[in-house]
Structures are given as structure tokens and as C-alpha cells.
Amino acid sequence: MHVKNLHWIVVEDDNKTSVAVERILYRSGISYVYLHTTTEKGMPSRGWAHRNLAIKYAIDNYKPGRKAVLYFADDDNTYDIRLFDKYIRRVKNIGFWAVGLSGSAKVEAPKVNGSGTIVAWDVVFAPKRDFAIDMAGFAVNMKLMHKTKPSFNKQCQKEYKVGPETCFLKQFGLKKEKLEPFGWDDKPKEILVWHTQTVKTKKTGGADHGYVFET
């Protein structure tokens, strides 16, 4: 195992768990819990119910005062191992960072001013969103999760066309000064999480915003 003190909450999209997946999880040697649920009636079938179940499990099992951070991992992402210790483990409230090949963009990232405050979002899709960030581009400290108890709820469904991230993150009520950008002032500026698929990538647009990006 490459990452210390990692607990994996895996949620199966079914009425039951899979024996084959359970075997893989067991062989991995990673601490995990394997849950299952299906999409609730009237909710989008894009993992909202599954994330809600994972959130409930994390909050129910969190011990106040314990150092822990929640990050949403997807099966179509590739992670540089440095993401976990360099970014995620250091998040005190909500941390944000660049994501490569998100949607039609080369790079999506928080736009940060000279004092280290997020002032906007360098993205192609719906840049005026309060939190124009991909699900892979942020993590939340568990003390904040435990206090706020956020979810992907019916209110988020109203904002579905622009994604659930903004609705979810607005529930914490944090001012921009409390948001934590990572990697924006590194030299070189590297991307530690990418959307990757085993199909030919569509043409990407937008700028690289100073991050290392090669085609």
C-alpha cells in the first residue's frame, strides 16, 4: 500500500455487493468498507445516492477531534500518489486543485490572487458558478463534514445542468478567504489528478493556465 492511513469507502451501484469486487478489495490490502445502494427515484443517476451513502457512513463513523479528510474518487480518474500527502492530507477546511482533461478543457483550476485567495475559476464550462470545479478537484476536512452534514439533495437537482459541485460546496457557507488552493504557486505547476478513459479523447480547449500539459 502506497498511501498511509487511507480508508476506502466503496459503494456498489446495485441491490447487493459483488463477490468479485470484494475479492479485489480484500487482496488490495487497503482498509475499506464495501456498501451498496441504487439511485433514489427522482434523483439523477450519476452517483448522487452513492455519494450520500458514503457521506453518511463517514460522518457516522467520524470521531470528533480526529484528523481526517474526505475525497470523492471516481473510476474514470487517474491519481498521482502525491495528491494524497501533498494536498489532501493537508486540507484544514476545503482544499482545491487543478484537474486535467475535465470535460472539454485541458485544465480546470482555481484562479488565485497574489495573497493566495481563490477569486475565480479558470474553466471552460460555466465559469460563473460559485464553485466551478470538478468533483476530483476538491476535498473536505471531516470536522467540517461532521458539523455541516452536507448532501447531494433535491436542491442540488435544481442546479443539475451545471453540476452538483456548487450546490454541495455552498452548504458549508465558507468565505473565499477560508478556501485553500493547492499547487497554484508550485514550480513547476503540476497536475496530480486527471480524467482518463480508454477511448480516444475529444479535442480539448481552453488554456493550460501555466500547468504542465503536453499533447
Letter for the amino acid at 37?
Answer: T
Cβ–Cβ < 8 Å for 117, 97? no
Check residue 33 and give left, alpha or beta (phi > 0: left; psi -120 to 50: alpha): beta
Task: Kindly give the residue spans of alpha helices, DSSP state H, lying in the chain.
Answer: 19-28, 48-60, 82, 142-148, 154-158, 165-170
Do 105 and 205 contact (CB within 8 A), yes or no?
yes
Establish whether 165 is a catalytic residue.
Answer: yes
76 marked as binding residue: yes
Give the span between the Cα atoms of 174 and 117, in whole angstroms. Answer: 13
Which amino acid makes up residue 162? V
Query: Taking Cα atoms as reference points, which of 74, 44, 202 lies closest to residue 138?
Result: 74
- The catalytic position among 22, 108, 159, 165 is 165
DSSP H stretches of helix in 36-125: 48-60, 82
Cβ atoms of residues 117 and 177 within 8 Å: yes
Positions at the binding site for Mn(2+): 76
Active site (catalytic) residues: 165
